[in-house]
Structure 1
Amino acid sequence: MKHYFNAAALALALAASATAMAAEQNLLSVHVLNQQTGKPASNVEVTLEQKQEAGWKFLNQATTDKDGRIKHFWPAQPAATGDYRVVFKTGRYFSEQKQESFFPEIPVEFHISNTAEHYHVPLLLSQYGYSTYRGS
């Protein structure tokens, strides 16, 4: 009987943990790293927009944390498949660092084909270049 209760308690703990992780999971996250310093780029303003027939529709805005991340970037609304972009305000970031930058903004367009998946957009940047890819 004791083994049954231990097994039941373990199953409940695992289920609660999985539920908590699912609740914390957001459709979209971003991460910005400064390639010149090798450190996270904190305080970078980022906007999220959805492509519409008439142009881009604003969905959300946030600022990277001390680790250069925005972990929960999708707004509190249902997700839809389609084309989106995140726009990193890098000119302001480098200005705060007392540095010039060739790119005042870096728009990264991407396509959401499955709203049940997680999408992660990392940005590796320097004053005169950048790289991005679909992360996990």
Structure 2
Amino acid sequence: MTHITTHVLDAATGDPAADVSIVLAHASGGAVTAEAAGAIVAHGSTNEDGRLALGPDALEPGDYTLTFLTGEYFAARETPTFHPYVTVTFTVDSSGRHLHVPLLLSPFAYSTYRGS
């Protein structure tokens, strides 16, 4: 069963980024089916530790996106930002392996990687 988790850290403050809204969706183009392209699978917000588990316990193989609504996060903190949102596109394979997609965030930059 493929399970998606994320962890958002605010690099500007060194703190977990709480209350970041995140949307998990099928990606356009390489989606499970053409009808599912862009369809929202799940959504939620990070907890006080900047963490969130998303989606059903089992995702079908295919391409997906996680969209982090970073503009809303920084606006709530009255901090100007360059990125109104960050979208990370990734592939779920048939291994059923857990996927962790961390985001290191600042007002003018971000980085991500496949975590464990």
TM-score under structure 1 length normalisation: 0.76
Higher relative contact order (CA 8 A, sep 6+): 2
> In 2, are the aligned partners of 1:40 and 1:67 still within 8 Å (CA)?
yes
Are the aligned partners of 2:61 and 2:91 in contact in 1 as well (CA < 8 Å)?
yes
Take 1:40 and 1:109, find their aligned partners in 2: how far apart are those partners?
Answer: 22
CA distance in structure 2 between the partners assigned to 1:127 and 1:102 by the alignment:
6
1:120 to 2:100 alignment: yes
The aligned residue for residue 54 of structure 2 is 73
Instruction: Check whether the contact 1:26–1:73 (CA below 8 A) recurs between aligned residues.
Output: no
1:5-43 CA-partner distances (Å, limit 9, x unpaired): xxxxxxxxxxxxxxxxxxxx9701010000011110000
Question: Which residue of the partner structure matches residue 83 of structure 2?
Answer: 103
Deviation beyond 3 Å, 4+ runs, structure 1: none
Q: Is the 8 A contact 2:65 2:89 kept in 1?
A: yes
Residues 64/114 of structure 1: CA separation in 2 closer, same or farther (3 Å cut): same
2:2 and 2:59 in contact (8 A); partners too:
no
Q: Hey, which of these two has a bigger chunk of helix by percent? A: 1
Number of residue equivalences = 110
TM-score (norm 2): 0.88
Q: Which residue identity does 1:75 align to in structure 2?
A: P
Unaligned runs of 5+ in 1: 1-24
> Is 1:88 matched with 2:68?
yes
CA RMSD after TM alignment? 1.7
CA contact (8 A) 1:79 1:115 kept: no
Task: Determine whether 1:41 maps to 2:17.
Answer: yes
Structure 2 gap ranges (5+) = none
Q: Could you tell me how far apart the structure 2 residues matched to 1:83 and 1:58 are?
A: 13
Q: Deviations over 1:76-128 (max 9, x none)?
A: 6x421000010000000000011011000100000011352100000001000
Within 1, Cα distance between the matches of 2:105 and 2:85? 11
**TM-superposed deviation, 1:75:** 2.6
Aligned amino acid, residue 85 of structure 1 = T
